[in-house]
Structure 1
Amino acid sequence: MSDLAVVLVDRLAGAFEQARDPERAVGAAAYMRDQFPFLGLTSAVRRARARVALAGLPPPAESELRDVALACWARDEREFQQFACDYLIRHIGVAGPAFLDTVGELITTKSWWDTVDPLATHVVADLVRRHPAQTARMDEWSGAADMWLVRTAILHQLHYREATDTGRLFGYCARQAGHRDFFVRKAIGWALRHYARTDPAAVRAFLTAHAGNLSPLSIREASKHL
């Protein structure tokens, strides 16, 4: 592990521990269906404590970015993974296309919406936008057995607006229209709802064409602002 990762995670541990809130931690864990232990930090407190830990440290190189992310993922408390998502979003510009392998590892480990969604809509989004050849990986992920990779493929263009590859957006949604998992069905509706801000007619046409295949949840979410 790089020196930067060792120093940063050690600082984070100390800064987070000072703000630990056991009562809030119980509620936070329950909200996440008791899948992860928490320190009980609100997002505002976590980010304030992170700024203390980051003070004076240089920006990471790509290898250091990976080390920090994996070191945070190795920690038990969920706030470390949430910090890692913020850190990746801030510094993803230093990463090349191969970094998508690391992000895939994070998406499929300790998976839940609070880490998968920022990784999908910001980190993966940036990597694919800067390295278009990686759209082939999105094609793979859109049919993966792991539902979180499917969700990521569907959501990675969430903020692309006019630059959205509609063939892939609609293709992924159609491919997984009958998926049984709530999080995939929700992702379909969310992605379509966002794109409807750019091209509502296209989304209406897609919903009409696939009304018999899409779940009521996906249709309801996609139609909210139409």
Structure 2
Amino acid sequence: MPTPVEALDALISRADPVRAAEMATYHKVERRYLGLGNDTVENLVRSWRADLDRDAKVTLAAALWDSNIYEARIAATKLLTQARIKPDDAPVWDEVQRWVVQFDSWAIADAAAKPIERRLIADPSRLDAVAMWTEHQNMWTRRAALVCTLHWAKGRHPDAAHLERREQVLTWIAALVSDHEWFTQKAIGWWLRTLSRQDPARVAEFLSLHSDGMRAIARKEAAKHL
């Protein structure tokens, strides 16, 4: 069972300085990069996960996240991406919520959307907390509200509860149409494009009401499969 220091050392010992410099240039966010490939991080996390119970996973994920090393934050998200968590998942939900207001890049935010989505599927009532993210001053937090709820844009035969949550997210999207940040608009288009594969009529209806307020990138993405 690795300690936080041991886990960080395992990541750092595999650093590739040349690739790290390239990643820093690409991501354009001031933090340490190690230059590790996704497979390297994934394999390390897999080896750690087998020996950790829920609380140990949360403790390790928190330490990895707080290091602010790019690959360590990615590892933290992978460590907590799990469908079923016993005895209950409240500590995991609390930890991933802590991350949300700290998002500062699409790559980390999108990676974190995966464990967040798992916890939302486990307890959809948590969407009520996510609703508050749509009004947060951090653009990445607002965007995360859409990326982590893509589950509700999917499903060919949704039940009534699924449809209710889908409409809840569509209400957020309607409110976010006036948010012209490029990444927010891209997420709006992404969500609607995903929904259009299941319910094109609902997306067409949404666009008839809101397309005038959307940036071209969002309109184009949303209508891609209509």
The TM-score range, normalised by the shorter chain, is 0.7 to 0.9
**Cα 1:214/1:79, change in 2 over 3 Å:** same
Shift of 1:181: 1.6
Is 1:90 matched with 2:82?
yes
Shift of 1:88: 0.9
Conserved 8 A contact 1:36-1:78: yes
Quick one: which amino acid aligns to residue 137 of structure 2? A
Partner of 1:42: 37
Runs of 4 or more off by more than 6 Å in structure 1? none
SS of equivalent residue, structure 2 residue 36: coil
Mapped partners of 2:147, 2:80: distance in 1: 17
Conserved 8 A contact 1:15-1:50: no
SS of equivalent residue, structure 2 residue 52: coil
Partner of 1:212: 212
Quick one: which amino acid aligns to residue 86 of structure 1? K
Partner of 1:116: 109
Cα deviation 1:123-154 (Å, max 9, x = unaligned): 22222222232121122222222222221222
Mapped partners of 1:198, 1:68: distance in 2: 39
Among 114, 122, 125, the alignment partner of 1:130 is: 122
Quick one: which amino acid aligns to residue 58 of structure 2? R
Among 28, 31, 37, the alignment partner of 2:26 is: 31
**Cα 1:13/1:155, change in 2 over 3 Å:** closer
**Cα 1:28/1:214, change in 2 over 3 Å:** same
Mapped partners of 1:196, 1:106: distance in 2: 30
Mapped partners of 1:89, 1:33: distance in 2: 26
**Cα 1:13/1:32, change in 2 over 3 Å:** same
**Cα 1:16/1:99, change in 2 over 3 Å:** closer
Mapped partners of 2:184, 2:63: distance in 1: 28
Conserved 8 A contact 2:82-2:118: no
**Cα 1:146/1:18, change in 2 over 3 Å:** closer
Partner of 1:187: 187
Conserved 8 A contact 1:97-1:134: no
Cα deviation 1:141-192 (Å, max 9, x = unaligned): 2222222222122222213323352312211111010103222111111111
Partner of 2:159: none
Q: Which runs of 5+ in 2 are unaligned?
A: 156-161
Q: Which runs of 5+ in 1 are unaligned?
A: none
Mapped partners of 1:137, 1:24: distance in 2: 38
Is 1:144 matched with 2:136?
yes
Partner of 1:20: 15
Normalization by structure 2: what TM-score? Answer: 0.85
Conserved 8 A contact 2:82-2:115: no
RMSD: 2.2
Partner of 1:153: 145
Mapped partners of 2:27, 2:221: distance in 1: 22
How many residue pairs end up in the alignment? 217
Conserved 8 A contact 2:103-2:140: no
Q: How many percent identity over aligned positions?
A: 24
Partner of 1:224: 224
SS of equivalent residue, structure 1 residue 145: coil
Conserved 8 A contact 1:185-1:218: yes
